[in-house]
């Protein structure tokens, strides 16, 4: 049966050092996996569209599928591809993704041989002229009309984000949300981002990415959100990690601060992606921007309490709904 919700993004091999210097090496990761799991907290019909190389572990695809997430849209390329991702969390709010040797040394952990020549997982995402080998393009979508009600584009190549929303709408996808790549959230993309954001159902950057885009003199948080909305997008949400989210509903002309749902933090990897997955399902099922923000918030709170994208789906029955009810009274209209 075709998936009601699609996540377009990366499937990766993660090498992570948490804020507590706990290392997770060569494990299943990727923003598509986390976002799909965040959506699957609330819905059973979730699928991934992604590209991987012939060297990607087949058992990981089996694990994702066994968790109830459709992997038919994952295209396996005939040659090997680099899907390594390194993160070191300096704090719960700040991470770096370069120079792994220095961070492993500081943490007192031997550098994995797989990272000896590592540079960054986002190389080329700002390319405006050609798709990278792992960049999703229109030909990766199933042929004909798609039954999905909504699709989320996780951080990825600029070209993917610039062409796929329109293509998704052409084939019948009603809701399209985008979480941008930090690579193109830069002043040099000022005009191009206006075109990219126009027509989206929701734009979901982090506050740090928004400030980077508006350099050298970024305005206040709400001013940034309203500016993005003026590009032609009714909902803008700025993710702020442990500080929660700022949500601007341009149609209602209302703005809310949603505090982060209380959680026992183990690993914050993928929390923003899980948020976006929950947000997409909430927006479709309720039609309400604030409710969508709450659903995403709860998905993120489940993600940080363990490690790996599939951890979310092992939550106790009823926990997500209980957190949703607890969170609602804490929302503040600004």
pLDDT band at 55 (very low <50, low <70, confident <90, very high): very high
In the prediction, which pLDDT does 145 show? 59
Residue 97 or residue 297, greater confidence: 297
Q: How many CB atoms lie within 10 A of CB 117?
A: 8
Residue 143: pLDDT above 80? Answer: no
Q: Among 111, 91, 82, 83, which Cα is nearest to 99's?
A: 111
CA 200, 201, 206, 208 dihedral sign is positive
| pLDDT tens per residue, range 251-294 | 999 999 999 999 999 999 999 999 999 999 999 999 999 999 99
Residue 139: pLDDT above 70? Answer: yes
Q: Give the residue-averaged pLDDT of 43-62.
A: 97
**Run of H or E including 275:** helix 271-286
Residue 92: pLDDT above 80? Answer: yes
Is the CB of residue 180 less than 8 Å from the CB of residue 205? yes
Domain extents for the chain? Answer: 5-12+28-81+125-333
Q: How far apart (Å, rounded) are the C-alpha atoms in residues 233 and 214?
A: 18
For strands 84-89 and 95-96, give the pairing.
Answer: antiparallel
| pLDDT tens per residue, range 188-222 | 999 999 999 999 999 999 999 999 999 999 999 99
In the prediction, which pLDDT does 2 show? 83
DSSP state of 4: S
Burial class (CB in 10 A: 0-12, 13-18, 19+), 56: buried
Residue carrying structure tokens 């029955």: 317
Is the CB of residue 190 less than 8 Å from the CB of residue 46? no
Q: Give the residue-averaged pLDDT of 103-129.
A: 90
Q: Give the residue-averaged pLDDT of 131-141.
A: 95
HEC string for 121-171: CCCCCCCCCCCCCCCCCHHHCCCCCCCCCEEEECCCCHHHHHHHHHHHHHC
Residue 57: pLDDT above 90? Answer: yes
Choosing among 3.40.1190.20, 3.30.70.100, 3.90.1150.10, 3.40.640.10, the CATH entry for 5-12+28-81+125-333 is 3.40.1190.20
Buried/exposed 67-102: b ≥16 CB within 10 Å, e otherwise: bebbbebbeeeeeebbbbbbbbbeebeebebeebee
Is the CB of residue 146 less than 8 Å from the CB of residue 2? yes
Residue 243: pLDDT above 80? Answer: yes
Q: Give the residue-averaged pLDDT of 124-129.
A: 86
Is the CB of residue 36 less than 8 Å from the CB of residue 309? yes
In the prediction, which pLDDT does 122 show? 83
Q: Give the residue-averaged pLDDT of 81-104.
A: 92
Q: Give the residue-averaged pLDDT of 226-255.
A: 97
């Amino acid at each position: 049966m075709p998936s009601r919700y699609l996540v377009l993004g990366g499937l990766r091999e993660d090498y992570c050092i948490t804020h507590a210097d706990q290392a997770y090496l060569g494990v299943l990761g990727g923003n598509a996996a986390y976002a799909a799991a965040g959506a699957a907290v609330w819905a059973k019909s979730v699928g991934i569209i992604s590209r991987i190389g012939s060297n990607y572990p087949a058992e990981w695809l089996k694990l994702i599928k066994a968790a109830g997430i459709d992997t038919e849209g994952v295209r396996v390329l005939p040659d090997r591809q680099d899907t390594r991702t390194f993160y070191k969390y300096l704090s719960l709010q700040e991470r770096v993704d370069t120079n792994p040797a220095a961070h492993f040394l500081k943490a007192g952990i031997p550098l994995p041989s797989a990272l000896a020549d590592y540079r960054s997982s986002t190389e080329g995402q700002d390319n405006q002229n050609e798709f990278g080998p792992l960049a999703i393009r229109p030909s990766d979508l199933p042929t004909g009309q798609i039954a999905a009600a909504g699709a989320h584009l996780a951080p990825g190549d600029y070209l993917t984000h610039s062409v796929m929303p329109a293509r998704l709408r052409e084939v019948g996808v009603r809701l399209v949300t985008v979480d941008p790549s930090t690579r193109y959230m830069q002043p040099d993309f000022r005009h191009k981002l206006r075109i990219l954001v126009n027509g989206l159902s929701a734009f979901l950057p982090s506050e740090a990415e928004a400030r980077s885009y508006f350099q050298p003199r970024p305005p206040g948080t709400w001013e940034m959100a309203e500016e993005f909305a003026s590009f032609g997008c009714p909902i803008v949400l700025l993710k702020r990690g442990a500080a929660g989210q700022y949500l601007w509903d341009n149609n209602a002309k209302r703005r809310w601060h949603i505090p982060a749902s209380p959680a026992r933090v183990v690993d914050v990897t993928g929390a923003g992606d899980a948020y976006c997955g929950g947000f997409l399902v909430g927006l479709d099922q309720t039609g309400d921007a604030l409710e969508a923000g709450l659903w995403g918030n709860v998905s993120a709170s489940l993600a940080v309490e363990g490690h790996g994208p599939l951890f979310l789906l092992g939550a106790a029955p009823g926990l997500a709904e209980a957190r949703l009810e607890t969170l609602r009274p804490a929302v503040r209209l600004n």
